[in-house]
Amino acid sequence: MTRVLAVLVYLFLYAPLLVLVAFSFNSGRLASSWDGITFAWYARALADERLQASLRNSLLVALATTAIATAIGTAAAMGLRARRGGRAGWDAFLALPILVPEVVVGASLVLLFAAAGLRLGMTTVVLAHVGFSISYATLVVAARAATLDPALADAATDLGASPLRAFFHVSLPALAPGILAAALLVFALSIDDYVVTSFVAGVGATTLPVHIYSMVKSGVSPAINAVSTLLLAATTLLLVAAWALERGARIRAAAVPAILGLAILAAPFAASKPAASTDRVLNVYIWSNYIAPETIRKFEQRHRVRVNLDLYDTNEAMLAKVQSGNVDYDVLCPSNYAIQSLVAQGLLRPLDRSALPHFANVDPAFLGRDHDPANRFSVPYFWGTTGIAYRRSKVGTVDSWAALWDPRHRGRVLMLDDTREAFGAALKRMGRSLNTTDPAVLALAQEMLLAQKPLVRAYNSSNFEDVLLSGDVWLAQGWNGQFARAIEQDPDIAYVIPKEGSSLFLDSLVIPAKAPHPELAHAFIDFTLEAEVAAEIAATMRYSTTNAAATALLPLALRANPAIFPPADALARTELIEDVGDATPLYDRLWTEVKSR
């Protein structure tokens, strides 16, 4: 009977891996159907420079962490052993970090690095990983050391060996399997860590898990399956080699799987570009789904630079990172209200208009707005609307926010995971301004959002259109560009700006006050202002361009698409989200309460 259970357990453990491997060869994009075998996702994964860069970063971090933590851990294990009696206190101290939740580790390290004035980057990631792996390394080596006979080393010293000599010739060889096991464990912990890394990774230190997280968040791509299959193959080969060695196989027999496994892991280093082009870097922090990798590549080639691209889903997440003060971004893409907040804190750098010859391409309708009256700090990039996309076959025609509160749609509603947008929907439904600072009105809006929560399936502001496409929800609040792309894939989906009105967003490119590469930042902004480039960005991302010269270059089908360029009467109902100043903490707190309930 236990055998049946064991088979089920193995099935449970391997089901996700089998699915990954199988679907890495599926030519269809979604999991619902098998559309034939393809190697295209492997080709795409192998051609994805960002993916390879993140794998390189992960391997570098894991190797550095393994070397440092294993050395420190081995020394500590030997130290514990030398102390023999009375080591319970030391054991406790050395093991305690294992039991601290990762979120707490990450959050507290951010505070440490900020207090120490360390810029977030590869160094901080390695420090953090060393911090959480020392304990594991120590415990594993100590477990092996416990099986050793201490008389051996004593005998060596009695026979005249120096303590160092006794260590290298007697204790170390005997400890070797424990040290190897510790190193493997530390390597595995480091290369797989997402939670701690996500707190402490700065610009250019995107590790593989951080990259995969943003891939998962910004849309389902079977390229992830291909990468995972390759990694799985590499680790399986290495484990087979280790296992063969342990069973006493000859080195040559273990060499084949070991070399094959290492070759897969080394591939991203072989594919790395010549160092000359990596001398100059530009750090861009922009919304997910706002610029295509191909567009970035064009800029990289023209200016012979490397662009580090980090993505965010909400203004608040971007503000939190930028305000922390120890990240070095060159270009940001805040919405108008976030620009107001950044300007108020003195965090933006005035633009040098002479370095932006294509500024004249911007549609004057988007210049001189309240958030930056003379456009001293910002250049408009995209504008768009927030609305509802829905499955016509499931919910009929929708024209009001009330549909998102309709009990018939229980469990089929998606809301943006965004403070101001979620409150915006509730406030508009109440017929209020979405910039209200009246605590009584906000309390009512919060009650509405709480009443809505049982109907909500997910809060998501990154790949909300995928959740609608996959059929998990029927109605989704979201931004028009991504919905425009979804509608092209599935004509059953429609987009509407509710009759009560909605929010309008105007997102602009800005340069932080402390940007390390302001000249390149200007060059990048000017690049996006060129008519052809702006048209390409708008055509690939489907958001509405603020570039008048680019609009003329867009295909007619896009210009006539009401989801992308809404009719004037719908636009008349929209309202720009403004900075609410001192009411910001109230909004943040009320939203936290909604999400917590």
Q: Which parts of 65-124 interact with other proteins (CB under 8 A)?
A: 71-73, 75-76, 78-83, 90-105, 107-112, 115
With beta carbons less than 8 A apart as the criterion, state whether 330 and 511 touch. Answer: yes
Q: Which is nearer to other proteins, 95 or 444 (CB)?
A: 95
Per CB under 8 A, the list member of 61, 62, 128, 476 interacting with other proteins is: 128
Q: Which is nearer to other proteins, 366 or 591 (CB)?
A: 591
- Residue 531 and residue 61: Cα distance in Å, rounded? 41
Give the helix/strand (H/E) hosting 504: strand 502-510
Q: Which is nearer to other proteins, 98 or 443 (CB)?
A: 98
360 forms part of the interface with other proteins (CB under 8 A): no
Give the helix/strand (H/E) hosting 115: helix 102-116
Strands (E), 519-592: 544-545, 574-576
Q: Which is nearer to other proteins, 266 or 583 (CB)?
A: 583
With beta carbons less than 8 A apart as the criterion, state whether 331 and 500 touch. Answer: no
x/- map, 417-436, other proteins, by CB under 8 A? x-x-----------------
Per CB under 8 A, the list member of 308, 314, 326, 386 interacting with other proteins is: 314
x/- map, 143-182, other proteins, by CB under 8 A? xx-x----------------x-----------------x-
* Residue 356: CB minimum distance to other proteins, A: 28
331 forms part of the interface with other proteins (CB under 8 A): no
Of 352, 315, 344, the closest CA to residue 332 belongs to 315
- Residues 6+ away with beta carbon under 8 Å from 325: 114, 514
> In which region does residue 51 sit, left (phi positive, over 0), alpha (psi from -120 to 50) or beta (all else)?
alpha
19 forms part of the interface with other proteins (CB under 8 A): yes
Convert 135-156 to b/e letters by CB count within 10 Å (16 or more is b). Answer: bbbbbbbbebbeeeeeeebeeb
Q: Using CB under 8 A, which residues numbered 240 to 259 contact other proteins?
A: 243, 246-247
Q: Using CB under 8 A, which residues numbered 538 to 577 contact other proteins?
A: none
Q: Which is nearer to other proteins, 104 or 155 (CB)?
A: 104
Instruction: Pick the piece of the chain touching other proteins (CB under 8 A) from 316-324, 393-401, 482-490, 493-501.
Output: 316-324
Tokens coding 65: 């962490």
Identify the DSSP state of 490: -
* Residue 238: CB minimum distance to other proteins, A: 8
Instruction: Pick the piece of the chain touching other proteins (CB under 8 A) from 279-287, 511-519, 539-547, 584-592.
Output: 584-592
Q: Which is nearer to other proteins, 135 or 375 (CB)?
A: 135
* Residue 395: CB minimum distance to other proteins, A: 15
- Residue 126 and residue 415: Cα distance in Å, rounded? 37
Give the helix/strand (H/E) hosting 143: helix 122-145
15 forms part of the interface with other proteins (CB under 8 A): yes
Of 312, 309, 315, 317, the closest CA to residue 288 belongs to 312
* Residue 443: CB minimum distance to other proteins, A: 14
Q: Which is nearer to other proteins, 450 or 523 (CB)?
A: 450
5 forms part of the interface with other proteins (CB under 8 A): yes
323 forms part of the interface with other proteins (CB under 8 A): yes
Tokens coding 486: 């979804």
456 forms part of the interface with other proteins (CB under 8 A): yes
With beta carbons less than 8 A apart as the criterion, state whether 500 and 428 touch. Answer: yes
Q: Which is nearer to other proteins, 223 or 554 (CB)?
A: 223
- Residues 6+ away with beta carbon under 8 Å from 493: 389, 390, 391, 392, 468, 469, 483, 486, 487
Give the helix/strand (H/E) hosting 381: strand 378-391
Residue type, 189: L
Per CB under 8 A, the list member of 46, 317, 367, 576 interacting with other proteins is: 317
397 forms part of the interface with other proteins (CB under 8 A): no
Convert 460-496 to b/e letters by CB count within 10 Å (16 or more is b). Answer: bbbbbbbbbbeeebbbbbbbbbbbbbbbeeeeebbbb
* Residue 5: CB minimum distance to other proteins, A: 5
Give the helix/strand (H/E) hosting 459: strand 456-459
The size of the interface with other proteins (CB under 8 A), counted in residues, is: 126
* Residue 314: CB minimum distance to other proteins, A: 6
Q: Using CB under 8 A, which residues numbered 463 to 492 contact other proteins?
A: 470-472
Instruction: Pick the piece of the chain touching other proteins (CB under 8 A) from 44-52, 186-194, 283-291, 514-522.
Output: 186-194
Cα–chain-centroid distance for residue 168? Answer: 44
131 forms part of the interface with other proteins (CB under 8 A): yes
Per CB under 8 A, the list member of 138, 289, 386, 574 interacting with other proteins is: 138
Q: Using CB under 8 A, which residues numbered 194 to 233 contact other proteins?
A: 194-195, 199, 208-209, 212-213, 216, 220, 224, 228, 231-232
Find the distance separating the first CA and the last CA of the chain, reported in whole Å. Answer: 43
